[in-house]
Amino acid sequence: MATEVLVPTLGESITEATLGEWLKQPGDAVAADEPIASLETDKVSVEVPSPVAGVMGAHAVSVGDTVQVGAMIATVDAGGAAAPKQEEAPQPAVTRDAAPATAPAEQGSGEAPAALSPSVRRAVLEHGVDPSTIKGTGRDGRITKEDVATAASAKPAAAPAAAPAPAPAPAQGGGRKEERVRMTRLRQTIAKRLKEAQNTAAMLTTFNDVDMTAVIEARAKYKDLFEKKHGVRLGFMGFFVKAATMALKDIPSVNASIEGEDIVYHDYADISVAVSSPGGLVVPVIRDADQMSVAQVEKTIGDFGKRAKDGTLKMDEMKGGTFTISNGGVFGSLMSTPIINPPQSAVLGLHRIEDRPVVVNGQVVVRPMMYLALSYDHRLIDGREAVTFLVALKNAIEDPTRILIDL
């Protein structure tokens, strides 16, 4: 008996999604509650579980199609037997977004891994790696774009290959190629929200720099004991989140938002932290970060980063937030003007740490310095308040004892 697979409820105000990937093909055996498809919503990827154990039936929609909540996307034959595996090489998954291309694993005799997502398939082609040799770190062992990049960076230089057989001359010369790929729903939402922020807010960015010497020394001194006690590495974000929550208490307008003609002030600090996922940048929220210890902050951020990579962040974890911190320094950024995450009124940008000459007590010395950037809505936050916020943050980072005694 065929059981229909329906699009599950996706969260408040979310009525549709895009089919991002089929995890099971017709004829595959499936267990009850086993993921059979991945949906892309405005915020996160959501896996669709099988309602029963049996055999995967026909797909009712294709990758890239928009589906409504409650719509039927496939069937599962309850209690059926899986189709026997054929000897020929498996066929690559076909998407609507781009014509199927031959991946390195399909050229050789190795067996290709199951159902690469469109973004991973593109990464495989760009880096020229064999997906059958990559160990996936995503959910259920699936390969992520980060896995492909890691494999590409570890790939040894290719030895000179034997001269291939002469190929027929192409009808037209030149090796210029183009590929048209539909934007994911997450990327469309990111683009829309960022443009709305620019169109709505009177956005301005102010800068400062901070001497990271004290934090680096504290981290080097206590990182081993910290990890042994708390089971998580001591990074820089814990210091910055705690320093930011202290500064937000001193300058409450930076932690506020505009709703119509009202200003809404928050007596709590829910800090949004920008983390990378295979589908793009996502911004989960550390609730009540002002009440947390540095260890609790680091544990929460570490958990967010892992689940963003696996695609298992929940909708509710992305909602809200009163202030955002984005760390472009992990990618090597020297300076930037981050864009506000509406309806928030400010965002802090962190950047790379580099040794620079600075004057201390009349002497030129070399110190590890970082540029800080605060973009803010000038309708609500005055320049004096923005500068005061950055100075308070700078003071806490340059003297971390202030964080311990709330000064």
Active site residue ranges: 378, 382
Sort strands 203-211 and 29-30 into parallel, antiparallel or unpaired: unpaired
Angle between helices 294-310 and 237-250 (to 10 degrees): 120
Torsion, Cα of 15, 21, 23, 25 (10° steps): 100
Q: Tally the residues of the chain.
A: 407
Comparing CA positions, the residue from 169, 126, 166, 130 lying closest to residue 151 is 130
Phi/psi of residue 280, nearest 5 degrees: 135, -170
Query: How far, CA to CA in Å, does 80 sit from each of 73, 75, 84, 156?
Result: 19, 12, 12, 46
Cis peptide bond upstream of 343, omega within 30: yes
Mode of pairing for the β-strands spanning 16-22 and 54-59: unpaired
Q: Residue 405's Cα: distance from chain center in Å?
A: 34
Q: Are 399 and 213 in contact (CB under 8 A)?
A: no
Give which of 32, 17, 30, 45 is closest to 139, Cα–Cα: 45
- 């901070």: which residue's tokens? 210
Residue whose pair of structure tokens reads 């400062």 in the numeric block:
208
Comparing CA positions, the residue from 36, 32, 59, 61 lying closest to residue 47 is 36
Helix axes 294-310 and 213-230, enclosed angle (nearest 10): 80
* Residue 396, burial from CB neighbour count under 10 angstroms (0-12, 13-18, 19+): buried
For the beta carbon of residue 61, count every other beta carbon within 10 angstroms.
18
What backbone torsions phi and psi does residue 103 show, to the nearest 5 degrees? -80, 160
